Structure 1
Amino acid sequence: MIGPSSSSAELIAHLQTLRSEENISGMARFGIVTETALGISNSDLRKIARTVKQSNGRALELWQGNIREARLLALYTAEPQKLTADLARTWSDNFHSWEIVDTAADLYVEAGLKALIPEFAADDREFVRRTAFAMIASAAVHLKNEPDDTILAWLPLIDAHARDPRNFVRKAVNWALRNIGKRNLHCHARACTVAERLAASDDRTARWIGKDTVRELKSEKVIARLERKSATR
């Protein structure tokens, strides 16, 4: 039985008992890397995370287990207030799956590691670069008290990497630009300017990012939501 004081070894042993070959096959269809997967859903992993105490030491041990579910559990149970940039860099060196990246991005933003965004964006490794833009996407939504200028300062990074054709990068760049545009009317206007410029690009990837972003940001649904949000301030 697992509990607040369970060790990493006990948690990994428990995870092994929940292995599902059927779920592993299903995950592969969503582009999830399943080489080390046990087939445990994220919702079930979050339930396990809620039963144990946060611990960076144990999270590091879970990460070193090199099992998909153990690494997600490490990210769910790390202590954001104690997470260092060096540990984030170490974990990012092992990124090879979009779902791990996106979960880590939320944690890094919560931990206040925004300064890593330009560094990760400059890294040519596909999943490390994705981390930068997943962090921007997360920050635009979750850092509600952060000045807009902080968020908008990342637009040049989006512009600079909008021509990276790799699937997991281009989708994250697109995601980041859309989330900035949906933050509020001020950010919407700035994001649309970037999106329209990209939409007119000769580069296929940049053009796709721009057109897809413009399509969403200029939809009646998004504009109506932003106007309602502005009116209630």
Structure 2
Amino acid sequence: MSNTTADGFRPSLARRATAALAGAAALAGLAGLCAPGLAYAAAPPATATAAFTGSAADFNDCPALPAGVDRARWKCEVHSAAPRLTMGKVTVTLAPITMTHAEGPMPDGTDGQVWGAMHTTPTAVPGGLTGTAAGDRSRPLRLAVQPEYGDRSDFYTGQFSLRFRMLSPLLPQECVVGASAPVDFRLKRSGPSQWISQDPPLIEFSAYDDTFTAPAAEGCGPLTAPLNRRLGLPATSGNLMSYDATYTFRAYDRLPTP
């Protein structure tokens, strides 16, 4: 009988990793990842609307506009969502993601967009590296996912790209799902948008994508193959992003001039 789990991690790996972690962390620069609460705390329940309650949204990430455009006809949009993500064999509710971009007409009349910034925090992956209770209990075996902007977006059509950095004391910082090519999402609306407030403007919408392909993790060192078996990657089907979001906006002529 094999003593290898379905995810490709032998039970002895956990014991060896735990015993060796203290020395390895000092040598490999992983000690900082073991700080209490960093990267491994499960995200608390959150809604996208929470990002904008209590005070006006943060417009500090509004990007500079292209030359020659009319500032009054361009708006800076800030939207926040706590997506539910199924990718391969893992399902998580990601910590809230906030994205900022600008859009408006170009001098020739075509639609223009400028990317601003993205902010989020890591989310714990239940079961950690092993997919078992031991992966939740043992700090060295914990696993978190950190979404990062994938350098492509088109908010007129609901398309954007993300990479997912996998964080664990046993993984190098270069361990990323979508390292060579990011994960491309093409969101479809689940229903009509709903105005929550007119002043300030606050709008909710729901969207999803169940057609995206999830690539394998790369750059994960000796654990690359076991990690991909654990995550069920690559996965060409069965993936889902549910995207319940809230957004607000402000015309550029109402923003401070840089």
* TM-score by shorter chain over 0.5: no
- What TM-score do you get using the length of structure 2 for normalisation? 0.25
Per residue, is there more strand in 1 or in 2?
Answer: 2
Larger radius of gyration: 2
TM-score (norm 1): 0.27
Which has the higher relative contact order, 1 or 2, with Cα contacts under 8 A spaced 6 or more apart?
2
